[in-house]
Structure 1
Amino acid sequence: MRTYKSIFTIFICLFFGSFYITAQKKINVKHADFLKGNKVVYGEDINVLVGNVKFTHETATMFCDTAFLNKKENKLKAVGNIHIIQNDTLHLYGRRLNYDGNTGLAEVREDVKLVNKDIVLTTDYLDFDRKNNFAYYFNNGKIVNKDNTLTSKSGYYYPDSDMAFYKDSVVVNNPKYTMFSDTLKYHTITKVATIEGPTFIVSEKNTIYAESGFYDTQNDVALLKDNAYVDGEQLLKGDSIHYDRKKGIGEVFNSMELHDTTNNVIITGDYGFYNEISQDALTTKNAVLMQIYNADTLFLHADTLVAVPLENPNEKLIKAYRKVQYYRSDLQGRCDSMVFDSRDTTNTFYHDPIMWSLGNQLTSDEIKMYTKDEVLDKVDLIDRAFIISEEDTGRYNQIKGSSMTGFIKNNEIYKIDVNGNAQSIYYPMDKKDAIGVNKAECSNMIIYLKQRMVSKINMQVSPTGKMSPILLVPDEELRLAGFYWLDMFRPKQKEDIFNWKELPKIDRGEDKSEYNLDNTYEDYKNQ
């Protein structure tokens, strides 16, 4: 008997429990000014409610002017002044409504407005899933809060998580910028936009582009990825850019590029930093400076590259620190440190500078290279200047002096002024053969070259000179003091600028000093 009673009790609980759950899912009519029912016109299970209609369903309350309620299918259609309240916080308005009480799906049409906290969403086509608490709009929609106005062709809004997802022709209007995107997520509380497709952020100051990352619209901080760049007075590119708009600071990781179109300079590296307000820039890790000329580009590598603005914002110093090597098809070189000054378009090379210009090797304590109209114009060799060119295997034309200036035309040195302690050894040519070796000394020399060969020497102040047959001159007298042929350290191709070889200790001549000595670079660096 007890067993039957237990089974009956369970049956009663299951029956009424099921009935209760089903009853809870039914759409309940709370008010209408009057009710119509006509089986012929509306159908057997349809009630027509007119005037100040009010329904409730689970956590939602719904209002309208007129409703058609299908009690059997638990569905309704409503028209006129639609208003749905969900959990006392979300308000949804429109002109027409199809509502399914079984699925909790509300299809609202015409002049649709969803209000939740400080978010207002407007569209003409919106589906609201009450059970999962999210809204989906299509055929264009707009979301407005106090900071931004966002439009797109379609989008999802999730009130519980304060997230919105936008797709197709997305536009965000902010007083400081306008954002254009293909796909975007937006957190309505934190005001952070997650970029999930090609996106432009355009302001008076610059244009930002990325295909993934995020933008904090409240704090103006962004992480930009995938073909990312910031294009303002300079163009900054990289695999990953951390950008602070308020501070004007961009920090770049991997494949950094900084384009200075005013000075025809591009700086690259695997890490970079740029301040668009002060226009300071730094790059390191495979850092490369590209100086673009009319006919060619000079590629320069150093451990670190720094760009420092001058008083005129279009002028700057670009400094290369440590293990500098550079390559251009007609010009190569190396040194410890370099400074490019855009005011007079000069490159100054410090600490053991060596320059190779076609067949000439140039060395001195400091080398200054000038360009004019983007063409190499002249070279100053300052202190212990030495120029060597290989005439034939084992034979070298040599010019030495306290300082020199080499004048350049069509990328070739055509005249050299030697100032102080001038010395030369060169091999005059008769057609293709050397006719002897000429050794000359004086205070100053002017040397003229034609097709990279000495054509004339003008010796000034106490000149001495001697032409001798080559075979009568001992080998040790065919080299000026401080001679050293350094072609093995020359970058032969662009890729060689990354392969640094340490110079040996080299006797530089009379004062017995060597390479690897400090000189004036630290003073210049602190300008």
Structure 2
Amino acid sequence: MHKLLISFCLLLLTISVSAQKKPTKVILVSSEKTLFAKVNGVDVVKVYRGTFQHENATLQSDSAYFYQQRNAFDAFGHVVIHQADTLNIYSDLLNYNGNTHIAILTNNVRLVDKDATLSTNHLNYNTLTRYGTYTDGGTLSQNENTLVSRNGYYFGFSRDSYFRYDVVLTGKDALVKSDTMRYNSNSKIAYFYGPTHIYQKTDTLYTEWGTYNTNNRQALGTKNNRYQQGSKTMVGDTLFFDDIAGFGRANNHIVFNDTQQKIKLFGDLANYYQKQERTVVTKNAYVIFVTEQRDSVNRDSVNHPEKYAVKKASAKTTTAASAEKSAVKTALPPKQSPKLAATEKTRPPLLKDTVIIKRDSIYLTADTLESYVSTYKAEKIKREQMFLAGLRDTSVKARPKPKPKIKGKNDLEAIQVDLRNLTDTTYLHREFFGKMILPKPEKKRVVDTMAIRKARQDSIRKSMEKDPVYATRKVVLSDTSRVRVINSWHHAKIFKSDLQAVADSITFSNSDSLVRLYVKPIIWTEGSQLTGDTIYLQLKNKKLDNMDLIRHSFVVNTQGDSTNFNQISGKKIRGIFNNNRLSTLFVDGNAESIYFDYENNKATKLNHSLSSRIRIQLKENKPSLIAFLSKVDAQLYPAEGLKDDQKILKGFIWKPKDRPVSKESIIPGLAGKPKKAAPPPKSKTTPALKVKPDLAKGSLPIK
């Protein structure tokens, strides 16, 4: 809008300067016939097939009234104005004033400037400034582009056209609707100065200030921008999109939202790839997941008929009679039951179940965030390849290289003998000492090793499906189902009000709602720290459901003070969440634990236990029950006098400084300085743990 105002000011300045100069006369160059007459007391020259010349403009028509005193004329029929070599204006009627250089053209007006044509029914045109305006609707056509608006302004020198109100630009592959637009016929670029929608084949761009190049179909928005493709939207301070390449870029205050896949990405620099439906955010990038927790008030939402049964008239009813009545009552349908019919009026109204849904957000951030859409089959193949790439094939052993033999003094040397020079030829008689009797080969039993291996694998798989440590939730999706995947690389962090995590890379897929943490992952949940080579965190119905710590699994829990740590280690640890809080831990393979007993907030005993499998129940984030399921080896030591290395297990790490303390600390763009890490709260006296080493062996159900 500022550019438009500047242009108008320059136009007015040009007109005022030209008005101060002495006007030149309009010259009648030629005509087929002229007649002199007076109309209303004014001398008029009637011109037929005349040609007028005024400075650099040539004007022609079928007939005209030429007012020499006024330096003006009216033209009728096939009016043509020639200016320069490329600009021509056609109309049915013309009123031209040589003093002001203003030509008022009416009916079937066409302004043709090279390959651009402006059509309207009324046009005011200045032959000096080559500036034309219309206010009753017009159309500008150039090759495959057509612009329609209510008001229009054309500048012949720059070939700029300004359009106002109900502006529509129709191109080969795009439709643009705007409030205010400028279009340059040389560059074929449209400039927007108001609310604008750019509609393309599958996407839409909204902006209030920007450009669109009709040649290469590139759009740029710099104010209140919003890009949409199907269920996906992206907003940012600056949006650029190349429709031919299918590439887009956004800068500052970016929000990418996919309503179908239910995901939101934020950042300050993002690239979008249309064909792959892929978004890469590389500056202040983070994503938000929403979890829900249902908090029900203890109210009964079901009416029980037995609570409101009518009292019996007689208190001396026999047991047999009551049994008979109950039998009749259960035999009748609910609508025909006399008891229910009698109590229908006396029954109180239903009590509604009061449910409060508590929502919490999970913030995931990293140096780079990538989000893309893939098929479920392709994602399974990719996960399998990633899994196999991390395994080492131990079935193939490398052959040791033979050591070079060093010849010694006592080593014997083989002497080569040429048998052809020997006179003894008995070695040629194969049966010299009789026929050799060989034992008959025994028939070997054909064993189908593949069938045995498959049966063994099936039995292991079935047992693992029932095992709470290895049981997985089945995903019911077809191979062609579309799934959204989010990858985060380098310095990945997670913050939730009651759970935090760090890792080098984190991946999330909405096909199984599984968050995978790779390369030195650490998870903190209240007073516990969990580590492993790889960690899986699964959500279900917008809640934390379970967690897997795979290889070198370790759990550390602070209790009482920060000098003594409860510890658990094993090959794999499965954690179960209840209402988004860690409630149960299953440890499998080389399970080892250390925990302290406290009295008066002071550690008195250390329990060191070894087992093949351990189950831990947590209450208020503290171990309340530890069950050793098989092969238990437990030792009890006094807490005083123990060395530091006796208080920790192998692989122990404790990194409270790496724990995110707030969403602002992991996302600098949100605001404020990061808060300092608060020391773990001191708990009150903790009761001794209940240990059950004699529990029956076997799998435990997942709650």
Q: TM-score interval w.r.t. the shorter chain?
A: 0.7 to 0.9
Give the equivalent residue in structure 2 for 1:488.
657
Q: Does residue 1:305 correspond to 2:369, yes or no?
A: yes
Give the equivalent residue in structure 2 for 1:296.
360
CA shift digits 1:470-523 (9 cap, x unpaired) = 5586665443333333222111101211589xxxxxxxxxxxxxxxxxxxxxxx
- Structure 1 residues 449 and 431: alpha-carbon distance in aligned structure 2, compared to 1, 3 A threshold: farther
Match of 1:424 among 579, 584, 593: 593
Match of 1:93 among 90, 93, 104: 90
Secondary structure of residue in 1 paired with 2:657: helix
Give the equivalent residue in structure 2 for 1:14.
none
Secondary structure of residue in 2 paired with 1:37: strand
Give the equivalent residue in structure 1 for 2:145.
148
Q: Does residue 1:120 correspond to 2:184, yes or no?
A: no
CA shift digits 1:17-40 (9 cap, x unpaired) = xxxx989632426326553522xx
Cα separation, 2, equivalents of 1:170 and 1:85: 28
Q: Does residue 1:350 correspond to 2:518, yes or no?
A: yes
Cα separation, 2, equivalents of 1:152 and 1:224: 21
Correspondences of 1:40-59 after superposition (within 5 Å): 41-44=39-42, 46-47=43-44, 49=46, 51-59=48-56
Match of 2:159 among 156, 159, 162: 162
Q: Does residue 1:381 correspond to 2:549, yes or no?
A: yes
Correspondences of 1:1-40 after superposition (within 5 Å): 25-28=25-28, 30-31=30-31, 33-38=33-38
CA shift digits 1:28-73 (9 cap, x unpaired) = 26326553522xx4223x3152654543323333234553332122
- Structure 1 residues 481 and 159: alpha-carbon distance in aligned structure 2, compared to 1, 3 A threshold: same
Q: Name the one with the larger strand percent.
A: 1
Give the partner amino acid of 1:179. V
Cα separation, 2, equivalents of 1:131 and 1:412: 80
CA shift digits 1:320-370 (9 cap, x unpaired) = 221112212222111112222232121111111111123321111111111
| Percent of aligned positions that are identical | 32
Q: Does residue 1:331 correspond to 2:499, yes or no?
A: yes
Q: Decide whether the 8 Å contact of 2:134 with 2:152 is kept in 1.
A: yes
1:313 deviates by 7.6
Cα separation, 2, equivalents of 1:289 and 1:413: 23
Cα separation, 1, equivalents of 2:81 and 2:286: 62
Correspondences of 1:80-479 after superposition (within 5 Å): 80-233=77-230, 234-294=232-292, 295-311=359-375, 314-394=482-562, 395-427=564-596, 438-465=607-634, 477-479=646-648
Q: Decide whether the 8 Å contact of 1:358 with 1:412 is kept in 2.
A: no
Cα separation, 2, equivalents of 1:338 and 1:475: 34
Bigger Rg, which one: 2
Q: Decide whether the 8 Å contact of 1:27 with 1:101 is kept in 2.
A: no
- Structure 1 residues 134 and 166: alpha-carbon distance in aligned structure 2, compared to 1, 3 A threshold: same
Give the equivalent residue in structure 2 for 1:503.
none
Q: Decide whether the 8 Å contact of 2:238 with 2:250 is kept in 1.
A: yes
CA shift digits 1:375-400 (9 cap, x unpaired) = 22111001111122222223433222
1:263 deviates by 3.0
Give the partner amino acid of 1:245. D
Give the partner amino acid of 1:109. T
State which drifts further: 485-494 or 266-275.
266-275
**Root-mean-square deviation (Å):** 3.0
CA shift digits 1:441-464 (9 cap, x unpaired) = 211012222332323222122113
State which drifts further: 470-479 or 365-374.
470-479
1:404 deviates by 0.4
Give the partner amino acid of 2:661. K
Q: Decide whether the 8 Å contact of 1:350 with 1:365 is kept in 2.
A: yes
Give the partner amino acid of 2:224. N
1:408 deviates by 1.0
Q: Name the one with the larger helix percent.
A: 2
Secondary structure of residue in 2 paired with 1:128: strand
State which drifts further: 419-428 or 133-142.
419-428
Report the TM-score, using the length of structure 2 for normalisation. 0.62
Report the TM-score, using the length of structure 1 for normalisation. 0.82
Cα separation, 1, equivalents of 2:566 and 2:28: 106
Structure with higher RCO (Cα < 8 A, 6+ apart): 2
Secondary structure of residue in 1 paired with 2:275: coil
Q: Decide whether the 8 Å contact of 1:61 with 1:85 is kept in 2.
A: yes
Match of 1:69 among 56, 66, 72: 66
Q: Decide whether the 8 Å contact of 1:325 with 1:498 is kept in 2.
A: no
Cα separation, 2, equivalents of 1:173 and 1:313: 36
Equivalences, count: 478
State which drifts further: 192-201 or 65-74.
65-74
Q: Decide whether the 8 Å contact of 2:570 with 2:587 is kept in 1.
A: yes
Q: Decide whether the 8 Å contact of 1:264 with 1:293 is kept in 2.
A: no
| Structure 1 gap segments, 5+ residues each | 1-20, 501-527
Q: Decide whether the 8 Å contact of 1:157 with 1:165 is kept in 2.
A: yes
Q: Decide whether the 8 Å contact of 1:408 with 1:415 is kept in 2.
A: yes
Q: Decide whether the 8 Å contact of 2:28 with 2:50 is kept in 1.
A: no
Q: Decide whether the 8 Å contact of 1:448 with 1:455 is kept in 2.
A: yes
| Structure 2 gap segments, 5+ residues each | 1-20, 293-358, 376-479, 669-673, 675-703
State which drifts further: 24-33 or 91-100.
24-33
